[in-house]
Amino acid sequence: AANVDPNQMVSQFEATGGKFEGYRRSGAKGICATGEFTGSAEGRKISNSSAFSGKKIPMIVRFSVGGGNPNAADNAKTQRNMALQFTLPNNEVWQMGNISVPVFGSATPEQLLGRLQSLQPDPATKAADPVKVKAFADANPEVLIHGKFLASQPVPASYATVNYWGVHGFSFANAKKEKVSGKWVFEPADGTQTLTDEEAKLKGPNFLFDDLRQRVAAGKVSFNFNLEIAQAGDILDNATVPLPAGRKKITLGALKITSISSDGSGPCLSMTFDPNIMPKGVEGSADPMLGARTVPYAISLGRRVVEGAKQ
């Protein structure tokens, strides 16, 4: 993390993805929501965090499409995001930014910067230089895993019907200081739903906000907060490596979405979701991508608030 200047990183997001004043430099097209989280007995068993008390925890939520473009198409095979803030008793806060892919597109901040540099559009052609893109990917093959997953999946029918992974390893500790480590995923309680290519085309590029409003009005949007438990030897410090299939999965609680803000407003507008902000009873892993998120998020927040926060 120390080897990449966070200001340079955020500027590289702008150089590669475009600069859109007032918008997040990543996850730009998004919408604020609120909800409530109810922790389970299994959650209480592994963590003494008040998030799992079983009392309803107020949640600030933001759904978005991946990338820096606030006009990104909703009907493409691209990433969806769900960012969360648990507002806990005793002034504790838990923030996370989860994505609709089990892995991230780079293992280290240096690799992310290099990948973004390789994808930066050439001013003459307005497109990335395929030779540079290939050279970087050949030398860093793990940067392709994320995109291959998205290309292999149909377009999600809704923000409410896709899985959202944390991608980093995290640990939980209970009052006896027993430690459980793993990777989490929020899974729609009613299962995932996707669109055929033909259905996606008919939906057009702007259907996700209205779709979500309708589903929330019907009281139908909830996710199970699931933890896949790591076994000895599993890799937990690399966001490009998912846990092996078939790891034991426990449900830490249920997240229900209860309201959607009007476009361009709401509680998520002028804040950021820093996954390093965790309550007692939850701990991050040594994944270098995790620690490297704090400062660029704050810089992106600062830039867009000064410009006039739009989404």
- Angstrom distance (rounded) from CA 236 to CA 252: 19
- Residue from 99, 143, 155, 200 touching ligand HEM (CB under 6 A): that is 99
Element (H, E) at 226: strand 222-229
Map residues 182-201 to x or -, x wherever contact with ligand HEM holds by CB under 6 A: --------------------
Q: Is 80 in the site for ligand HEM (CB under 6 A)?
A: no
Stretch of 114-122, 144-152, 244-252, 290-298 lying at the interface with ligand HEM (CB under 6 A) = 290-298
Angle at 306 between CA 305 and CA 311, to 5 degrees: 30
Q: Report how far apart the first and last C-alpha atoms of the chain are (Å, whole number).
A: 28
Distance, C-alpha 282 to centroid of its chain = 18
Nearest to 228 by CA among 272, 294, 165: 165
Stretch of 124-132, 147-155, 204-212, 300-308 lying at the interface with ligand HEM (CB under 6 A) = 300-308
- Residue from 60, 83, 173, 195 touching ligand HEM (CB under 6 A): that is 83
- Residue from 112, 252, 278, 282 touching ligand HEM (CB under 6 A): that is 112
Residues belonging to the chain: 311
- Closest approach of ligand HEM to the CB of residue 99, in Å: 4
Instruction: Copy the structure tokens of residue 198.
Output: 């033909």
Q: Judged by CB under 6 A, how many residues of this single chain contact ligand HEM? A: 30
- Angstrom distance (rounded) from CA 156 to CA 163: 10
- Angstrom distance (rounded) from CA 144 to CA 170: 24
Nearer to ligand HEM, 97 or 281 (CB): 97
- Closest approach of ligand HEM to the CB of residue 240, in Å: 9
Look up residue 1 and give its amino acid: A
Nearest to 293 by CA among 67, 51, 70, 10: 10
Element (H, E) at 204: none
CB 168 within 8 A of CB 290: yes
Within residues 141-180, the interface with ligand HEM by CB under 6 A covers 167
Q: Is 65 in the site for ligand HEM (CB under 6 A)?
A: no
Q: Is 75 in the site for ligand HEM (CB under 6 A)?
A: no
Q: Is 9 in the site for ligand HEM (CB under 6 A)?
A: yes
CB 68 within 8 A of CB 119: no
Within residues 245-274, the interface with ligand HEM by CB under 6 A covers 272-273
Stretch of 47-55, 137-145, 224-232, 289-297 lying at the interface with ligand HEM (CB under 6 A) = 289-297
Nearest to 271 by CA among 142, 123, 97, 147: 97
- Residue from 30, 67, 114, 253 touching ligand HEM (CB under 6 A): that is 30
Nearest to 255 by CA among 119, 131, 137, 85: 85
- Residue from 33, 200, 289, 309 touching ligand HEM (CB under 6 A): that is 289
Q: Tell me: is residue 159 an annotated ligand-binding position.
A: no
Stretch of 8-16, 130-138, 220-228, 245-253 lying at the interface with ligand HEM (CB under 6 A) = 8-16
State how far the alpha carbon of 248 is from the alpha carbons of 190, 229, 290, 300, in Å. 20, 6, 24, 37
Nearer to ligand HEM, 25 or 44 (CB): 25
Interface residues with ligand HEM (CB under 6 A) are 9-10, 13, 24-27, 30, 62, 64, 81, 83, 97-99, 104, 109, 112, 167, 239, 272-273, 289, 292-293, 296-297, 300-301, 304
Known binding residues for heme: 297
